[in-house]
Every structure is written in C-alpha cells, then in structure tokens.
Amino acid sequence: MGHTYTATLFHVVFSTKERVPAIAEPAELWAYLAGVARNLNYESLAIGGTQNHIHVLCRLPADVPISEAVQKLKSNSSRWLRENDRWPGWQEGYGAFSVSPSNVETVRRYIQNQPEHHKRRSFEDEFVALLAKSGVAFNRAEIFA
C-alpha cells in the first residue's frame, strides 16, 4: 500500500488554571484556535466551551501525537490571550478522548451546546463524567490538584 490512511479524531478538553472564568470572549478564542489548528494542518470539526474551559473536536494528521497537538493549541492560545487580556494560563494537563467517525455529529452538538449544558452541570462534574464514560482510570482527588 503506497499511502497512509487514518481517522484520528479526538475530543480534547482543557481548562483555565484553577478553572477561573478568565476567557472574556470565548467565541473569539474559538475562532483563534480554529486558525491555529488550520495553520498546523489539524482539521477542527468543532470548538466550544465557556469562560473556564475549551472543547476541541479535531482530526489530526497521522504523524502528529495528541500530546504535541494539545501542547501547540495551548501554547499558541496562551500567547494570544496574554496579548489581549490578563491571562492566568491553562491548567496543566488535558483530557483527550478518541471519537468514532460515526459519533462526530453527536460530539459536535455536545461541544456547540456548552453554555446551555453548564447551566446544569459544573465543568468538574462534566470532566469526571467524560473520564468515566471513556473508561479512563482516575482518582477524583488528583484530577484538579
């Protein structure tokens, strides 16, 4: 076979340091992150969140590990946020969950409805639920330390 074919789809979640509501204009950040992703040859399928966290649904090239992709998204957005606002930074770490191509629309809707979703559930509860649903082993006391 002469070519490489992959479907590396990830739902990535990361929060502001100590989950403070430091993202003054979330929609502007989403647009900026979409541009960063495009420049890095990542296909962003949905970006959303609230004033204290971000969700990104993206397709990565075969040669890009998820840790590198998240590091680049966080560092580029931090630089932009520092230039445009007072910025405490991103929390260390992130969540990355593989997504089946058949579930892209469901995840996209989930990401696009974040403000409504968080009227009923905190970011912390949401993140723990994502970990549990994905079968990720965790100690709740250590997640937000």
- Quote the pLDDT of residue 140: 87
Q: Is the pTM of this model over 0.85?
A: yes
Averages of pLDDT over runs of 10 residues in the chain (145 residues) are: 85 96 93 97 97 97 96 96 87 96 97 92 94 93 84
- Quote the pLDDT of residue 1: 61
Domains defined along the chain, listed by start = 8-139 (3.30.70.1290)
Rounded to a whole number of angstroms, the CA Rg of the chain reads: 15
For the chain, the maximum distance between any two Cα atoms, rounded to a whole number of angstroms, is 51
